Amino acid sequence: MKTARIAASLGVAALVCASGYAALFIAPDEKTMHEVQRIFYFHVPSWSASFSAFAVVFAANIAYLATRHVRWDLLGVAAAEVGVAICSIGLLTGPFWARPVWGIWWTWDARLTTTFILWLLYISYLILRNLLEDPERKATLSAIVGIFAFLDIPLVYMSNRMFPTQHPKPVYFGDSASGADPRMTHVLLLCMASIFCLMVLVLMDRYRLERLRHEYEELRIEVESRGSGADAALSSKEKK
Amino acid sequence: MNTSRAAAILLAKELRVEFRARELLTATVVFALVVVVLFSFAFEPTAAESRRYGPGLLWIAFLFAGSLMLNPSFAREQANDTLDALRLAPVSGFAILAGKMLANFIFMTLAEIVLVPMFAVFYNLSLAGIVWRLVLVVTLGTAGLVITGTVFSAVSAHARMRELLLPLLLLPVLVPLLIASVQATASLFSLEPEIDGAWVAFLAGFDVVFLTASWLLCDYLLEE
């Protein structure tokens, strides 16, 4: 089990290094934006990976309410944290590209706004979890909030789409007339695969950590209850 | 007992509790008024400016007031553990939630009935000829605010720092509602008032999505 984890970590590390090399040196230069365009190779994958993580949160929330098995709750919090982290990469890399190309750091376009609200929604989901004490209640209530948050995402997107946008339309995966060099598409696919694998790896690790934390918490409660039970027994003996 | 009758009884209970003290409603109206007055210092309230900013200010005031007003909805039940008594009653979970939603809707609507005319006076906007269309937009927007807000109020009632937590959870979820309400209200306040069908339909859709979700999830929400 441990060797498998180490092997998986090394494999993902190699994949991330390879995709970094490919994005910087193999992908051809873009005609108008030049070097700054290379940020796309991490910006676009961060969106798809974080969205996958949030979809895992949604699925875990529903699974928890349906089965009441604690592992779904632990998976939910792990995926939400990883999703927020990767979403932050997308939110940070976007402005660094936008400033030289658009001349502004930020615009309130449907995609930007939706991602930003998504990020806020899952941060408030994580804050909620910190503020609830009882573990079972925490799991149930945060699952409800998680489901509401996920239902909100398409509505945020739709409500923002009615405004004019500056964000470029998807170029890769478009038709052959989109003008992208096939090498660019290949590098992007490699980067998507590597960021996705990184997401899955970190998610699994975070889940394992959360499970250990949960087990520790249960043991601690058991020890405490036994301890206080023993104390009570002792004091009653002393009284006699 | 069927759900609608149970919800009506709960609604009557909520109204009785509120109108004995009237503290929640008064505080909400005054708070929203303070927000509206503060905005008038932050922006120049001439008619042309108000047409541009007015609808946004109005809805921000509603959302802030709502996110504070909805907090006691469930938190109030905690003082004497009365939520347990409600749970023991032979009524469906949705009846409890619907009773509270209806009560909150009435409180919010009463606050808005006071606020909208004052807003029109302060910001020099005319309500003549658009009253019924404005009622439609405000009703749909308020319904969405109250549906999601009541559910989140039940969530935050169990948490620490719940007064801060409720706006934190609620306001990001209300972003689409804010956009749609502001756009629909703005087209009513423009020089040639007209109702924007797309945004009104969007508001109705928002209400339906979250009402359905609350109906599906209410038993989990209210369980011990």
Residue B88 backbone phi and psi in degrees, to 5: -70, -25
Q: How far is CA A114 from CA A91, A105, A156, A202, in A?
A: 11, 16, 6, 24
Does B209 sit within 8 Å of A127, measured CB to CB? no
Distance, CA of A27 to CA of B54 (rounded, Å): 50
What type of residue sits at position B35?
A: V
Substitution target from A131, A150, A153 for chain B, most B beta carbons within 10 A: A131
Does A151 sit within 8 Å of B202, measured CB to CB? no
- Hey, what are A85's tokens? 């982290």
Q: What is the DSSP string of A38-51?
A: GGHHHHHHHHHHHH
Distance, CA of A213 to CA of A224 (rounded, Å): 16
Number of residues written out for chain A: 240
pLDDT band at residue A167, thresholds of 50, 70 and 90? low
Minimal-distance CA residue of chain B relative to A119: B172
Contacts of B165 in chain A (CB under 8 A): 127-128, 131
Residue pLDDT, tens place only, B61-113: 999 999 988 988 888 888 777 888 888 888 888 888 999 999 999 999 999 99
Whole-number percent of chain A with pLDDT over 70? 85
Contacts of A80 in chain B (CB under 8 A): none
Top-confidence residue, B35 or B50: B35
Minimal-distance CA residue of chain B relative to A64: B220
Q: Is the pLDDT of residue A233 over 70?
A: no
Cα atoms in the 13 Å half-sphere on the side-chain side of B156: 26
Distance, CA of B71 to CA of B155 (rounded, Å): 10
Residue A102 confidence (pLDDT) = 79
Residue B93 confidence (pLDDT) = 83
Could you give the ipTM of this predicted complex? Answer: 0.87
Contacts of B166 in chain A (CB under 8 A): none
Residue found under tokens 């009703």: B139
Distance, CA of B114 to CA of B182 (rounded, Å): 19
Distance, CA of A132 to CA of A152 (rounded, Å): 23
Task: Report, in this order, helix, strand and coil percent for chain B, each rounded to 5.
Answer: 85, 0, 15
Smallest CA–CA separation between B199 and chain A, in Å? 9
Residue pLDDT, tens place only, A99-149: 877 777 777 777 788 888 889 999 999 999 999 888 888 899 999 999 999
Minimal-distance CA residue of chain A relative to B211: A148
Residue pLDDT, tens place only, A50-78: 889 999 999 999 999 999 999 999 999 99
Selection from B200, B61, B79, B88 nearest residue B135 by Cα: B200
Q: How far is CA A32 from CA A100, A202, B117, in A?
A: 12, 36, 54
Does A155 sit within 8 Å of B172, measured CB to CB? no
What type of residue sits at position A210?
A: E
Contacts of B176 in chain A (CB under 8 A): 152, 155-156, 158-159
Angle made by CA atoms A81, A86, A89, in degrees to the nearest 5: 135
Instruction: Characterise B207 by phi-psi region: left (phi > 0), alpha (psi -120 to 50), beta (else).
Output: alpha
Whole-number percent of chain A with pLDDT over 90? 29
Sign of CA dihedral A108, A109, A111, A114: positive
Average pLDDT over residues A195-224: 90
Average pLDDT over residues A80-95: 89
Please check whether residue A216 is in contact with residue A88, taking contact to mean a CB–CB distance below 8 angstroms: no
Selection from A81, A202, A213, A66 nearest residue A135 by Cα: A213
CA A138 to chain centre: 20
How many Cβ pairs closer than 8 A exist between chain A and B? 78
Selection from B221, B215, B222 nearest residue B89 by Cα: B222
Q: What is the DSSP string of A68-106?
A: --HHHHHHHHHHHHHHHHHHHHHHHHHHHHHHHHHSSS-
Minimal-distance CA residue of chain B relative to A145: B152
Does B209 sit within 8 Å of A155, measured CB to CB? yes
Instruction: Characterise A179 by phi-psi region: left (phi > 0), alpha (psi -120 to 50), beta (else).
Output: left
Cα atoms in the 13 Å half-sphere on the side-chain side of A186: 8
Widest pairwise Cα distance in chain B: 56
Please give the mean pLDDT across all residues of chain B: 87
CB proximity under 8 Å: B 118-177 to A: 148, 151-152, 155-156, 158-162, 165, 168-169, 172-173, 175-176
Does B213 sit within 8 Å of A117, measured CB to CB? no
Does B213 sit within 8 Å of A121, measured CB to CB? no
Residue A239 confidence (pLDDT) = 54
Minimal-distance CA residue of chain A relative to B158: A132
DSSP B9: H
Cα atoms in the 13 Å half-sphere on the side-chain side of B103: 27
DSSP A24: I
CA B145 to chain centre: 4
What type of residue sits at position A162?
A: M
Contacts of B221 in chain A (CB under 8 A): 140-141, 144
Residue pLDDT, tens place only, B43-56: 777 777 777 788 88
Average pLDDT over residues B115-121: 88
Contacts of A149 in chain B (CB under 8 A): 172-173
Q: How far is CA A225 from CA A186, A218, B43, in A?
A: 58, 11, 60
Distance, CA of B116 to CA of A92 (rounded, Å): 40
Q: Is the pLDDT of residue A222 over 80?
A: yes
Distance, CA of B181 to CA of B191 (rounded, Å): 18
Does A133 sit within 8 Å of B155, measured CB to CB? no
